[in-house]
Structure 1
Amino acid sequence: MFERFTKDARVVVEGAVEHCERVGAQTVAAEHLLLALLDHGAGRGSFALAALGLDERRDSVVRALDEARRRAGLSQADADALAGLGIDVSEIVSRVEEAHGVGAMSGGRAGRRRDGERGWWGGHRPFGRDAKDVLVKSLRIAVARRERTIGDEHILLALTAGPGVPAEVLADHGVTHESVTRVIGGGGEAKAG
């Protein structure tokens, strides 16, 4: 499938791996794809994010992703659903961090092998289920749009199409599947509402 990716999409995927390594995560997650899209600054997906005003709100997006990582990747909707069952995710995070340090639930601790190499995978980070799902969904979106290649815009559309933290964070910042579709299809005149 990777051979069908445009140069911009490949840069985003490679950037996601770099984000994963930078924070010491064991697997590449969908949030790393979003962060790489925000960093890329070129391509149709990055253009759509800029047209929807996300450039000015990048720090807010990063903070929201960090907060979700502290909650072990739970979306706010997940945390709210658990609260409805009487489970206070914030309290659990506080107790775990009190005992094990800030960020203990983030999964950001990559182990070291005896030979000193990072990770348990020979230095390579595998893609987590959520990131794989985004990449597969980006292929399906490209096929549905009758496009031969997968661009960074398809990755962005896939991030906004599914449930999960990246879609929730983007929607909280006015970036939805519909708004991205309008910007990509309409030449960029749409603005976030």
Structure 2
Amino acid sequence: MFEQFTQEARRVVTESVAHCERAGAAAVTEEHLLLALLDQRGTRTDFALAALGVADRRDSVESALHDARRRGGLTRTETEALAGLGIDVDEVVATAEAAHGRGALAPAGFVRRRMLPARRPFSSAAKEILKKSLRIAVGRGDRRIGGEHLLLALTAGAGVVSEVLADHGATYATVERAMFGDGGTAGGAVPRTA
């Protein structure tokens, strides 16, 4: 599939691995793909993220991702659902961190390990984003997978990254409008796959 990627998309994948390594993570995640997309300059995705105001709020995006990581990767929706059951996630996080140190509930992909693999694998969620970007490209009638397809794939499902993007004004529909205008997807369908 990598041979179908544009130069921009290849750069995003390569830079996502670099983000993973800098974070000391065991695997490349959706978060690393998003951070690599935010690094792009002079591309269609850069334009869309700037037009939506996401590029100017990178610190806020990173903070929201960090907060979700501390909550064990729970989305705000999941946290609210647990609160409805009487479970205060912030209290659970504080108790766990008091006993085991900061970041104790961070997902396994973000736990620093002594022996990290020389080559970082992609998490199953990150692999799914790459597959979803292919489906989006095919659905739009595009012959190659670009950064725009990766960004759309990040917005087209449930999870922390799509929630953070939506909180910052970047939903599938708004990203699509910013990148492609009012034309939309082929047939007007928004591919919502989990």
TM-score when normalising by structure 2: 0.88
- Residue-by-residue CA offset, 1:23-62 (whole Å, 9 max, x unaligned): 1111111011111111122321122101111121111011
1:129 CA displacement: 1.5
Matched positions, count: 180
Aligned counterpart, 2:72 = 72
Q: Distance in 1 between matches of 2:19 and 2:74?
A: 19
Give the structure 1 partner of residue 188 of structure 2.
none
Aligned to 2:187: none
Which structure shows the bigger proportion of residues in helix conformation?
Answer: 2
CA RMSD of aligned residues (A): 1.3
Q: Which residue of 2 aligns with 1:191?
A: none
Paired residue for 1:181, among 146, 167, 176? 176
2:136 aligned partner, one-letter code:
I
Which 10-residue stretch deviates more, 99-108 or 55-64?
A: 99-108
Does the 8 Å CA contact 1:46/1:152 hold for their aligned counterparts?
no
Does residue 112 of structure 1 match 2:107? no
In the TM superposition, residue 85 of structure 1 has moved relative to its aligned partner by 1.9
Contiguous gaps of at least 5 residues in structure 1:
114-118, 188-193
Structure 2 counterparts to residues 38-53 of structure 1, below 5 A: 38-53=38-53
Q: Does 1:166 align with 2:168?
A: no
Give the TM-score normalised by structure 1.
0.89
Give the fraction of aligned pairs with identical amino acids, expressed as a percent.
58
**Structure 2 stretches of 5 or more lacking a match?**
183-194
Deviation at 1:110, TM superposition (A): 3.4
Structure 1 stretch displaced more, 123-132 or 136-145:
123-132
Moved beyond 6 Å, runs of 4+? none
